Structure 1
Amino acid sequence: MDQVDPTAPPSGTGCADCEATGAWWLHLRRCAACGHVGCCDSSPNQHATAHARGSGHRIVQSFEPGEDWFWDYGAEEFAEGPELAAPHAHPAGQPVPGPAGRVPADWMRHLH
C-alpha cells in the first residue's frame, strides 16, 4: 500500500485543523500516509475528508480508543492496513466530543 506509512506518528491528540482554529470535533481519523489527525464527517468541519482531498492521501484509520478500522476515501470502502506508529488513539480521558471547554451546549445540532 503506497498510501500507508506505518512509521508516521500522529500529528497530535486532536484534530490538527480544529486545534489551529479553536474549533471542536466529534470523532477523529488519522491519515495513514502522513499521520495528520482530522475530524470525522459527522463533525462540523470534516477536516479528515478535506485533508484526503487536498493531499491525495486516501487512507485513514480511526483514532478513537478501541477502534482499529481503516477507510479508503478513494474507493469509499473499508480497507486493510498495517499497525501504525503509536499512539493508536487519542487519550482515553479526552472527551467525545472534544476538546473539553470548546464544545457548545447544543453540539448535536451542529453534526452532519
Structure 2
Amino acid sequence: MDDQVAAAIAAERESLRNDCRRDAARFARLIAPDFHEFGTSGREFGYEEALRIAASTPEAEQAEVQDMRGMRIADGVVMVKYTSERAGRRAHRTSLWRRTEDGHWQMFHHQGTPAAD
C-alpha cells in the first residue's frame, strides 16, 4: 500500500475512535480549519460543528467500519472510502485528506450517504 494512503487511512481510523472524538484537542488536529461535511442527515456543516458533534458521540455508539480503502489523488492528497455502521445505521463514507507542511494529515472534506439496504 502507498505510504500516503496508509497514513491517511490510519488518521481516518483514529478520527473514528470514540476516545479521539471526545478529546477535542486530539480530534481538532485531525480536521482542517476549512473542514466541510455533507452529513448522512443531509445537513452541511464545518469545523466548529464537527467538533461539537464528535464530542457528543455516546460511548456505546462506536462506529464499525467495513471495506476501508484509499486512493492517492495527488501528492499529499488522499481519498478514503468505507462503509460504517453506528447505532444500527449504515452509511457509505468518503473523506479527503491532505498532508500539512509539518507532515501531519488532516481531513478537509467528508461525505456520508445512507446505505440502501
* TM-score greater than 0.5 by the shorter chain: no
Q: Which has the higher strand share?
A: 2
- Could you say which TM-score interval applies, normalised by the shorter chain? under 0.3
Q: TM-score, normalised by structure 2?
A: 0.24
